[in-house]
Structure 1
Amino acid sequence: MSSRAEAKAAGDISSDRNFNMAQAQTSRKGFCSVRHGLALIMHLCNVSVGTQKMNLSVALPAMVNSTALAGSPNTSMETPPTASQDRWNETLKEFKPVAPMYDWSPETQGIILSSLNYGSFLAPIPVGYVSVVFGAKYLVGVGLLLSSVLTFFIPLAADAGVDLLIVIRSIQGIAQSMVLTSQYSVWVKWAPPLEKSQLINIAISGQMLGLFIIFLVGGLLCQTIGWPYVFYIFGGFGCICSFLWFPLVYDDPIHHPFISAGEKEYIVRSLAQQDCSRAWSLPIKAMIRSLPVWAILVFHFTEFWTFHTFMDYLPTYFSTILQANLRDIGILTSLLVGTTFICTILEGLLADFLLSRKLLTLTAIRKLSSAIGVLIPSAVLMCLHWVRSSMSVTMALLVLCHAAISFCQTGALINLLDIAPRYTGFLKGLSQIFVYLSGAISPAVTGFIISQDAEFGWRNIFLISASMNLLGLVFYLIFSQAEVQDWATEQTLTQF
């Protein structure tokens, strides 16, 4: 036993020495490395997915008769238009394409918008399992290409009928779930431990940038060149990203044709102690009994409760409580999403800095980030009702809230990569089920509360969201870990 321990210790020392040498060789590359290029490509793919998720929500007011006609009384009739204004209006009418409009009831609009989630409940777990066995390259690429091509057909589907539009949106939801679920499996073999947070955050922040772009320019596109171009432009962008993905992305650095020998050695050696091999079998019983897994799943449910409430009802809050107009609503929403995008990248860099300098352990970083990402937003939520009379104070608090929420991305939301790298894809798919479940419940609860109590409804919504967040955080802080679990290693594999 002693000789075996000594041999293991000697191997660890040798491995550490080689790792440090490789790290020194690749430190000069910085953000010009292939792994950071991979993060940038994945960032662009997530930008595309973010725009395709929200493009129909942004275009819908211009697609529906009742919504479009509601804006006509806003035109001032006090001053008659001049001759030059008449000529300018005629020129705009001449060049502006005529986009069709539809008589969809509010109930029909709700079904169309929610249809994106119909297939999402079924897709994540199979997609996660397939990504574990076969890799994520083709799942991400095919999912993005399929979603982008279907985006082109949404205007035609709307003309053909609501049923076809719902079917296309449902298939899009499955395709987008392929991208969002399986991409985490790429980082199992590409992300060195000291760069894991920054690489993943660079990639994932693309979703926030996509939301920022679609909120900022989507309405302008609808007003200037017509709502169909919202789907044509962002569908085309998605196709371009998928064409970049296939030739430039590989499941592991060993088979990448353009990576340098130094960077390849650095990545491989840094992950030498991590079991990244693929497996057909799954330790289901061990996963069910694992409290660290449940800590992450519960946190996903509670954290995304607030996220879905913000995404679905924040424009309504701006309109009804803050009395903002449509233009200001788009700008304010873009500001909040842009704040989350910037902070997500910065916090990934901060987490890796703390880990590389050994200022905090990985477990401490995950728990501290999660605590910041919950405690500050919860405090803000409990204050919003009392400052609603001031637009500036409300916006300052919301910016602080969205900046703090992004800390969760370096906390519990990537913790699965720490405890079970072999099964990251499958567990990520499982966590997506909890995200979609939260997204199905929280908007319904929010809508019910607002309809029952218009005066204090928002106060109750914010208090419920804060309570959910705090419960999830307490459960996570008690049971979470950041070490690879015994059941996630090949030696202790339990058959499925």
Structure 2
Amino acid sequence: MTTLASSPGLQAQCRVQNVGEAAFGIRHLQTVMMFFALVIGYAMRVNMSMAIVAMTDSAADDTFDWSMQTQSVILSSFFWGYVMLQIPGSLLADKIGGSILITISIGCNSIITLILPTAATYGGWQAVCACRVLQGLTQGFLFPCTHNLIGKWVPLEDKGRFMAFIYSGSQFGTAAQLMLAGYLTEYWGWPSIFYASGICGVIWTIVYILIGSASPQGSKMISEEERMYIQSSLGHVGGHKTYPVPWKSVFSSLPFISLIVVNCCQNWGFWTLMTEIPSYMSQVLGVNIKANGVLSALPYITMYLLSFPFGLASDLILAKGWLRATTTRKLSNSIAYLVPAVTLIGFAYVPAGNIAVAVGLLCVVVGLNAGYYTGFMLAFLDMAPNFAGFMLSITNCAANFISFIAPLVAGVLIQDETDVSHWRNVFYLSSLLYVLGNTFYIVFGTSELQSWNEPKLDKQVENGSGTTTEKTEIFI
């Protein structure tokens, strides 16, 4: 009779199973590092939204006389560089690994953030724009690298909760930066906003160089049991298979086009609020800089917290079979778009001085927008899991063109930043695009698996004994 003690195979299997049940492993450490990469990346991305309020405060020292139009150009300049490397970043991460590129992304952003106050002092708004373009350029690697690393490090059993944790870092970083910016400005001046996030980025880069890895295979810290557990779960023991991109099928797919449209509308609304709300709070609602940071952060804290129940509810609905995947995604997306669209109109009519109501409505607008995580964002994986990363890079590229256009349009619409009627036009436009984008997705979107996700097997060849069918990867 074979016992566990006399069977090395059973012992190894038992050890691998124990690794899967362990509370903490190297895969968890890599997950935490990815979370903080997004926290710091987004902190450096949004710090200008609060800093520019202090940098243009005529009542303070060491400030700049920049018009609303100039401020809009500065706020949009990050995205000029950001859109350029979305697609190349996705392809490059597959070739050289995500760890190298994510280190370059955060490291370069940190250095640029640290020199930005000096650039502003001696080079004016043009130098600030140049710094922001370079930051956007290097952050173009951030999301493709994160997707790549998740695909290598996170077992299938943990994918849902690990992904929710990692990507919530973007909202956490946004909220933390907005909240701390007011206090930093109050006590140490506006340059400290950039120094704080830049120093955090340098620390992260040093730590990640020491402990980060592109995959379990390349990690020197991981145990053999944990490496085998991850590879077995992902089917990477013999190497994972990749397919050539079916370009024609992707770009002729109306459901995929609907993802581009809905993502563009999402970015318009999200980044309009992100870049303009601190100025609105200051100029229209009369909130001082310290309170401005805290109040501007609350909606993003709400979004961070609501992302978890949205994820749990979506999984529960599908597990119970209450709704199909397509219906579940569209329901979640409709909550994320339609309720904020209506609420944003109400927010535009809140009278000056009624801060509590304004912030409460803004928490509804931004907080419920978390539903898009379990809305169209999951449709990429539903439709074509083999090409989800590539598809996301395409839609992200298009959507981030919108990200730098939106602040410019706001600058054109807001001729007098103290006139609430000018601001209402900005909010009307965002509401309209939320409704139109969601409608297009409702009509044309799907979560059905697409035929071009898998290769077709239809090539016949002849051999000496007759005709046989050869398995060949053919994409339409």
Alpha carbons 1:450, 1:457 under 8 Å: kept: yes
Change (3 A) 1:325 1:211: same
Tell me the equivalent position of 1:303: 266
Alpha carbons 2:303, 2:369 under 8 Å: kept: yes
Partner letter of residue 266 of structure 2? E
Q: Which whole-Å CA distance do the structure 2 matches of 1:478 and 1:431 have between them?
A: 18
Partner letter of residue 337 of structure 1? Y
Query: Is 1:153 aligned to residue 115 of structure 2?
Result: yes
Equivalent of 1:285 in 224, 245, 248: 248
Superposed counterparts of 1:24-173, under 5 Å: 28-29=21-22, 32-63=24-55, 67=57, 69-71=58-60, 108-162=70-124, 163-173=126-136
Q: Which whole-Å CA distance do the structure 2 matches of 1:252 and 1:481 have between them?
A: 32
Q: Which whole-Å CA distance do the structure 1 matches of 2:274 and 2:128 have between them?
A: 22
| C-alpha displacement of 1:107 | 5.1
Tell me the equivalent position of 1:466: 431
Please, what is the CA RMSD of the aligned residues?
Answer: 3.6
**Partner SS state of residue 133, structure 2:** helix
Superposed counterparts of 1:183-194, under 5 Å: 183-193=146-156
Partner letter of residue 284 of structure 1? W
After superposition, give the CA deviation of every residue in 1:167-202 in whole Å (9 maximum; x if it has no partner): 332211111111133312323344455543432221
Alpha carbons 2:182, 2:294 under 8 Å: kept: no
Give the structure-2-normalised TM-score: 0.80
Tell me the equivalent position of 2:402: 438
**Partner SS state of residue 148, structure 1:** helix
Q: Which whole-Å CA distance do the structure 2 matches of 1:177 and 1:394 have between them?
A: 33
Tell me the equivalent position of 1:395: 359
Alpha carbons 2:114, 2:195 under 8 Å: kept: yes
| C-alpha displacement of 1:370 | 1.4
Change (3 A) 1:213 1:467: same
| C-alpha displacement of 1:210 | 1.6
Change (3 A) 1:148 1:37: same
After superposition, give the CA deviation of every residue in 1:330-384 in whole Å (9 maximum; x if it has no partner): 2210111211122224433444455556665544443332122122212312433
**Partner SS state of residue 482, structure 1:** coil
Gaps of 5+ in 2: 1-13, 458-472
Superposed counterparts of 1:225-374, under 5 Å: 225-259=188-222, 264=227, 267-272=230-235, 277-279=241-243, 281-355=244-318, 362-374=325-337
**Partner SS state of residue 83, structure 2:** coil
Q: Which whole-Å CA distance do the structure 1 matches of 2:42 and 2:281 have between them?
A: 22
Q: Which whole-Å CA distance do the structure 1 matches of 2:342 and 2:15 have between them?
A: 45
User: Percent identical across equivalent pairs?
Assistant: 28
Tell me the equivalent position of 1:13: none
| C-alpha displacement of 1:211 | 1.8
Alpha carbons 1:198, 1:349 under 8 Å: kept: no
Q: Which whole-Å CA distance do the structure 2 matches of 1:262 and 1:368 have between them?
A: 41
After superposition, give the CA deviation of every residue in 1:43-98 in whole Å (9 maximum; x if it has no partner): 1011111121123343344445xx2x425xxxxxxxxxxxxxxxxxxxxxxxxxxx
Give the structure-1-normalised TM-score: 0.77
| C-alpha displacement of 1:429 | 2.2
Alpha carbons 1:184, 1:425 under 8 Å: kept: yes
Equivalent of 2:167 in 204, 218, 222: 204
Partner letter of residue 157 of structure 1? A
Change (3 A) 1:253 1:486: farther
**Partner SS state of residue 121, structure 1:** helix
Which stretch of structure 1 is more off in the superposition, 287-296 or 450-459?
Answer: 450-459
**Partner SS state of residue 82, structure 2:** coil
Q: Which whole-Å CA distance do the structure 2 matches of 1:385 and 1:111 have between them?
A: 23
Tell me the equivalent position of 2:468: none
Partner letter of residue 177 of structure 1? G
